[in-house]
Amino acid sequence: MFTRWGAFVYRFRRPVAIIAIVVAIASSFLAAQASSVLSAGGWLDSDSESAAVAARLDTEFGAGKSSMIALFRSEAPGADARSAEFQGAIATATAGLADDPRVTGIVGYAETGDSRFISTAGDAAYTVIQLDMTDEESVEAVDDIRAAIQPPAGYTYQLTGYGPITKDSAVQSEKDLQKAEAVSLPIAAVILILVFASLVAAGMPLFVAGLIAVGLMLVIGVLTL
């Protein structure tokens, strides 16, 4: 089969090459949109037993929904996370979350007096941001939650939980992939030139790889529709 296909492509090599280039150019727009319509997450099965347990906990006990954790630190040396000043800074930082209907509550040291919300060294504290959504749904809310948290001068925070970790992992993976391609592509080009001893012959595998990449992104873009 591959022999016949190869003979066919060689026999009509010029039309095949022209058609491939035209299709790649025509589909490049939709292919470019593929990354924007893809979303992070998808690791959890909504029909699993653990998902059913979480839904029942939420129905019967008001628990089981997703949450995010915001860890606050002060840039001042020797800061006391239990102090009214520190806890006031946390309240100021999270005040914007009150306008988000997806946030059902904020629980921390100020609300409970529980020392487990304070770091062992006593210089940092975290709060639990309770959400009215599942873990998978929380991925899309990460950017809004981050934008709503505005710590005052002298304070910093870090956000974690299923949503932030999934979101950040996807962003970092994309950056690493771009970096890997930027490093490996010139090396591959040099090796191909040494092997084929011709710029045209060496460029053909890279050209075909480019067409395949555009084609794959086109298929992904169509599937997301």
Residue 116 and residue 175 in one domain: no
Average pLDDT over residues 6-10: 87
Asked if the structure places residue 120 within a domain, the reply is: yes
pLDDT, residue 85, reads 95
Residue 107 and residue 74 in one domain: yes
Helix H or strand E encompassing 69:
strand 67-74
Residue 76 and residue 156 in one domain: yes
- What Cα–Cα distance (Å) separates residue 171 from each residue in 35, 91, 138, 145, 165? 11, 29, 16, 17, 10
pLDDT, residue 64, reads 62
Residue 200 and residue 152 in one domain: no
Q: Name the percent of the chain lying above pLDDT 70.
A: 92
**Domain count of the chain?**
2
CATH of the domain at 99: 3.30.70.1440
Cβ(108)–Cβ(128) below 8 Å: yes
Asked if the structure places residue 45 within a domain, the reply is: no
- This prediction's pTM: 0.70
- pLDDT tens for residues 18-44? 888 887 777 777 766 666 666 666 666
Lowest-confidence region among 80-89, 93-102, 156-165, 201-210: 201-210
Containing structural domain, residue 214 = 2-40+168-224
- pLDDT tens for residues 143-170? 999 999 999 999 999 999 999 999 898 8
Residue 55 pLDDT exceeds 80: no
Asked if the structure places residue 147 within a domain, the reply is: yes
pLDDT, residue 131, reads 92
Residue 85 and residue 152 in one domain: yes
Residue 150 and residue 200 in one domain: no
Asked if the structure places residue 15 within a domain, the reply is: yes
